[in-house]
């Protein structure tokens, strides 16, 4: 089945540790996105990529890093510099930046 897969669904990490969230799509989409969702704040854009080997910062990129070495994959690393990393993270892809996005099921990260 075509779609976008995020793993794992739940993730626990100790404070001060880096953690990488996986996002894979088999939709042949050029654009991929990472959003963070906190209660009452909707979705905030962390990073986006329009093409392989290129990505742009969103509104809240500090403390995060990404890579886009393959069209299918857009992993997000939450570094120890991110002050409040506990949140729900959503990955999305679209054929272009202006077409509808398809979302993964999300990863709920809890840092203790």
Kindly tell me which of 80 and 88 has the beta carbon lying closer to other proteins: 88
Instruction: Choose which of 7, 26, 28, 97 interacts with other proteins (CB under 8 A).
Output: 97
Kindly tell me which of 79 and 103 has the beta carbon lying closer to other proteins: 103
Tokens representing 4?
Answer: 């976008």
Given a contact cutoff of 8 angstroms between Cβ atoms, the answer to whether 7 and 20 are in contact is no
**Residue 54 engages other proteins in binding (rule: CB under 8 A):** no
- The residue range among 12-20, 21-29, 65-73, 98-106 that interacts with other proteins, by the rule CB under 8 A, is 98-106
Instruction: Choose which of 2, 15, 98, 112 interacts with other proteins (CB under 8 A).
Output: 98
Distance, in Å, from the CA atom of 103 to the CA atom of 89, rounded to the nearest integer, reads 11
- Smallest gap from residue 112 Cβ to other proteins (A): 21
**Residue 35 engages other proteins in binding (rule: CB under 8 A):** yes
Q: Distance between alpha carbon 23 and the CA centroid of its chain, in Å?
A: 7
Task: Give φ, ψ of 96 to 5 degrees.
Answer: -140, 175
Residue showing tokens 């979302």 = 103
Residue 42 CB: number of other CB atoms within 10 A? 9
Tokens representing 109?
Answer: 């990260």
Q: Which stretches of the chain bind other proteins, using CB under 8 A? A: 31, 33, 35, 40-45, 48, 50, 56, 58-59, 88, 90, 92, 94, 96-106
């Amino acid at each position: 089945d075509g779609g976008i897969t995020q793993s794992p669904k739940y993730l626990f990490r100790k404070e001060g540790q880096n953690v990488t969230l996986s996002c894979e799509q088999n939709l042949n989409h050029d654009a991929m996105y990472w959003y963070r969702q906190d209660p009452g704040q909707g979705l905030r854009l962390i990073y986006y990529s329009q093409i392989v080997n290129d990505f742009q910062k969103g509104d809240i990129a500090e403390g995060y890093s990404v890579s886009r070495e393959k069209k299918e994959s857009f992993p997000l690393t939450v570094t120890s510099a991110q002050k409040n990393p506990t949140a729900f993270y959503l990955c999305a892809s679209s054929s272009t930046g202006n077409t509808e996005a398809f979302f993964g099921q999300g990863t709920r990260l809890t840092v203790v």
